[in-house]
């Protein structure tokens, strides 16, 4: 596996691969890698000649400087995980100047309102930061296919919208949420939880499964009340929000329509650690 530490090295590598007609699969990360990330590369390996990873903690998508400072970084561990996976051909580890040559600032995007729903309500500018770094990485890596986890479903929708609007020559693939044995969605943030709290947090997934059972059986306001009751009885857990939204517009709904696809979204803070999850509703 090649480790590409600057933009020039990456460009030379990509040029050689394109000359050989290689189809490139790509999944960008912010490091702190786990099996959820590897599931993206597994999918990419099945569908491409060459798989590229990137590791870059993007400063422009953090609203809070303390969160940026606290974000887990262990580049040597991450490189070892990628090497041992036997799934990745090269990893790009740019410096800030490789992504932001002048100043680490976001471009402004119009995502047709997707950026104003859910996470966007409490994190102004966050998705501009996501769009800026992903667009720049796409322009540098020049992938044919790019892979993102459905755990960050809103981010996935926003990247698809950006690619559509910018007419970028890359196909975006969503990959199913990778879960621990107890159902908890894998996340870099899980590392900050004590083992017994990770076990207790399985209630998030169990609640989503109940929501899927209740969907179209009782009203959405009744479902929301039941979810609220579940987390009010959990010590050390705070329900930040739960909602059911249209999968295309991400707009919250209190009524289900037969001809649309819906998804339940939930954010729970466990001992100060913010956990997100979602589930398509049948």
- Parallel, antiparallel or unpaired: strands 171-175 and 237-246: unpaired
Following DSSP, what letter does each residue of 201-218 receive, concatenated? Answer: TTHHHHHHHHHHHHBTTB
3-state helix, strand, coil in the chain (%, to 5): 45, 20, 35
Known catalytic membership, residue 280 = no
| Residue 194 assigned to a binding site | no
| Residue 191 assigned to a binding site | no
- What are the tokens at 80? 């070892």
Active-site annotation holder among 37, 126, 173, 194: 37
| Residue 107 assigned to a binding site | no
| Residue 150 assigned to a binding site | yes
| Residue 34 assigned to a binding site | yes
Helix (H, G, I), strand (E, B) or coil at 269: strand
| Residue 240 assigned to a binding site | no
| Residue 64 assigned to a binding site | no
| Residue 280 assigned to a binding site | no
Q: How does DSSP classify residue 251? A: -
CA distance 45 to 227: 39
Q: Which long-range contacts (CB under 8 A, 24 or more apart) does 243-251 make?
A: 243/118, 244/211, 244/215, 244/220, 244/281, 245/117, 245/118, 247/280, 249/113, 249/114, 249/117, 250/114, 250/117, 250/118, 250/154, 250/157, 251/117
| Residue 187 assigned to a binding site | yes
- What are the tokens at 156? 């996935």
Between the alpha carbon of residue 212 and those of residues 47, 205, 215, the distances in Å are 31, 11, 5
CA dihedral 179, 194, 57, 123 (to 10 degrees): 80
| Residue 131 assigned to a binding site | no
| Residue 184 assigned to a binding site | no
- What are the tokens at 83? 């090497």
| Residue 155 assigned to a binding site | yes
| Residue 21 assigned to a binding site | no
| Residue 142 assigned to a binding site | no
Binding-site residues for ATP, please?
Answer: 30-37, 149-152, 186-189
Binding-site residues for (R)-pantoate, please?
Answer: 61, 155
Binding-site residues, please?
Answer: 30-37, 61, 149-152, 155, 186-189
Q: Which residues are catalytic?
A: 37
Binding-site residues for beta-alanine, please?
Answer: 61
């Amino acid at each position: 596996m090649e480790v590409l530490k600057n933009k020039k090295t990456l460009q030379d590598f990509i040029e050689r691969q394109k000359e050989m007609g290689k189809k490139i699969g790509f999944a960008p990360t912010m490091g702190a890698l786990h099996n959820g990330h590897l599931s993206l590369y597994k999918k990419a390996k099945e569908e491409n000649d060459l798989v590229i990873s990137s590791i870059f903690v993007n400063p422009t998508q953090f609203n809070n400087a303390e969160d940026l400072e606290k974000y887990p970084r262990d580049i040597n561990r991450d490189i070892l995980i990628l090497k041992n996976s036997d799934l990745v051909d090269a990893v790009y580890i740019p410096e800030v100047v490789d992504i932001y040559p002048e100043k680490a600032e976001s471009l402004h995007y119009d995502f047709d309102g997707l950026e104003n729903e859910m996470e966007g309500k409490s994190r102004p500018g966050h998705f501009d930061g996501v769009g800026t770094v992903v667009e720049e990485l796409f322009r540098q890596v020049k992938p044919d296919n790019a892979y993102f986890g459905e755990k960050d479903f809103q981010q996935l929708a926003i990247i698809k919208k950006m690619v559509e609007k910018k007419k970028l020559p890359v196909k975006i693939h969503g990959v199913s949420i990778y879960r621990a044995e107890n159902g908890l969605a894998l996340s870099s943030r899980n590392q900050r939880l004590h083992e017994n709290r990770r076990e207790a947090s399985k209630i998030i997934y169990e609640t989503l499964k109940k929501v899927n059972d209740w969907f179209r059986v009782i009203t959405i306001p009744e479902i929301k009340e039941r979810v609220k009751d579940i987390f009010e009885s959990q010590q050390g857990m705070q329900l930040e929000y739960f909602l059911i939204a249209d999968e295309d517009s991400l707009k919250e709904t209190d009524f289900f329509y037969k001809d649309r696809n819906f998804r339940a979204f939930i954010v729970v803070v466990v001992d100060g650690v913010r956990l997100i999850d979602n589930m398509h509703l049948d």
